[in-house]
Structure formats: C-alpha cells, structure tokens
Amino acid sequence: MRLLFCGDVLGRSGRDAIAEQVPVLRQRLNLDFVVVNGENAAHGFGITPKICEDFFAVGVDVITLGNHTWDQREIIPYLDSEPRVLRPRNYPPGTPGKGAGVYPAPRGRKVLVVQVMGRLFMDPLDDPFAAVEGELARQRLGTTVHAAILDVHCEASSEKMALGHYVDGRMSLVVGSHSHIPTADAQVFPGGTAYQTDAGMCGDYDSVIGMKKDAATLRLVRKLPGERLSPAEGPGTLCAVFVETDDATGLAKRVEPVRVGGRLAPAMPAV
C-alpha cells in the first residue's frame, strides 16, 4: 500500500495547500490512503466540521487532532458522529470522540489509524504507550489490518522516538506531529516500521511555526502579552511523509519526505 501523512495544517495557507495538493498527490503517488493532522486548521486553533468536510471532499481519508482539539466548541458533538476524525486516544474514558479506528482502503484492505498525545511538556493525559498497546491488542498488522499508522502528537522528540521503537514491527508508520518543523530522520526501523520524528506543517513557513512572525517574536523579546497570534498568510508548503508497505506483512518497504509549494526546498518520492 501507499500511504501519506500530512503534518499539522495551519490556517488558510495550510488549508489551501491541502485542497490544491492532495488530489494531485493521490494521482502522482498512486496513494491508497491519506491522513491529515488538522488541529490548527481553523485560524491556527482547532478545526470545524466544515473544514473537516472540505478535507474529505478533496481526498483525505482520516483527520487527526491534538492539544487544540477543543478550541472550536462546535467540533465536540461532531467527534461523536464522524468516526473519521480522531482526537488523542489517551484522553480519559468518557471524553467525546475516539482516538483510533479501522478504515476501508482500495481492494478490500483495512487501515488502522491511532493517535496519542505525549506527556512530556504537554497536558498530563493517560499513558500513551498503554493506549497504543490497547489498540494493538485488538488489531494485528498483516492479519486483521493491512496497514497501521500512529500519529504521535508530542513536544519531545525523545518521547516520539521511544514510541516508534516501542511498536517497531507492529505498525507500518509512526510519525510525529505538533512541532510544525519537518525532521530529516525518515527511516525504516529494524523491525520494519517507518518512522519520522515530525512530518512538519502544512502552512506558510515565512512565520514562527505558522504564526505571523512580528507578533510571535515580540512575545519572546518583551515577555509581555501582546496581540493574539494569527496565522501567516503567504503561500503554504505541504509537508508530509510517504510510506510504501509490503502487501504481505503491512511493514514498510520505504519512507520518504514530501514537500510541495511555498518556501521550503521541494521533496518528492520517485514512483
């Protein structure tokens, strides 16, 4: 299978990049399944049902969220009615929505998608390792599902990497989100799991992690609260991770970064 995970979508620049590039990439890379992290899609803070529907309309299969899940209140009831939108799996029991699901893919195949949020420098949620283990007890790569993707929404690169090694050989892809900067460590672990510490951001990189640079910089220089941060509005770069898996095992054969548009140097897998 051919999988694509697009990093955090930030504001209109990021939404435009998804709308313009996902249909093109589905054809160019012959993609079977696309996951997008959309937790910053609504002006940098959360996501709305309308944005979710727009993403699905251009070819996104599943949307993951993160620490900004609840910023747009209208998303709360939507999470209970739309299984293709996932909040972190390690929120306490009873939290609206769900953190994992099994989804159909072409030719009768199934894809497991799980999201967890880290605990280092983040909200003190339940154990993300135990949350992932709980899902892997229900589904087995190469047996009940043909591919498995884990989005680790996390501040610390060490926690992301530890989760990647923890599930090595049991998932197709472990990829980090939240940091908004694409890392250069795309690799296939010894057990066959593809890994990248952070997919990066879909948004304007002439910014401070997607926000207008002047206001964001002044907050750090003056250490005083200033104007509300707002997304940068220049051309967006779509940053993503591409994985090709072995049909028999569901494990990764290769993993490569994808960067299209905007300011960053382009990167595109050969097919």
Residue 145 is predicted with a pLDDT of: 98
**Which phi and psi (to 5°) does residue 216 adopt?**
-65, -40
- Give the model's confidence band at 84: pLDDT under 50 very low, under 70 low, under 90 confident, else very high: very high
Residue 143 is predicted with a pLDDT of: 95
Q: What is the DSSP letter of 266?
A: P
- Catalytic, 165? Answer no
Q: Which helix (H) or strand (E) element contains residue 12?
A: helix 11-28
Lowest mean pLDDT among 50-59, 184-193, 211-220, 261-270: 211-220
Give the three-state DSSP class for 115: strand
Q: Which helix (H) or strand (E) element contains residue 150?
A: strand 147-153
Residue 36 is predicted with a pLDDT of: 98
**Which phi and psi (to 5°) does residue 244 adopt?**
-115, 130
- Give the model's confidence band at 224: pLDDT under 50 very low, under 70 low, under 90 confident, else very high: confident
Report the distance separating Cα 15 and Cα 203, nearest Å.
Answer: 8
Report the distance separating Cα 89 and Cα 96, nearest Å.
Answer: 11
- Give the model's confidence band at 228: pLDDT under 50 very low, under 70 low, under 90 confident, else very high: confident
- Tell me the pTM: 0.95
Report, as an integer, the average pLDDT of 146-174. Answer: 98
Residue 271 is predicted with a pLDDT of: 87
User: How high is the mean pLDDT of the chain?
Assistant: 96
Residue 219 is predicted with a pLDDT of: 83
Residue 214 is predicted with a pLDDT of: 86
**Which phi and psi (to 5°) does residue 152 adopt?**
-105, 105
Q: Is the pLDDT of residue 216 over 90?
A: no
Q: Is the pLDDT of residue 222 over 90?
A: no
Residue 136 is predicted with a pLDDT of: 97
**Active-site hit among 68, 153, 178, 180:** 68
b vs e for 97-112, b when ≥16 Cβ sit within 10 Å of the residue's Cβ? bebbbebebeeebbbb
Q: Which CATH code fits 2-260? A: 3.60.21.10
Distance separating the N- and C-terminal Cα atoms of the chain? 13
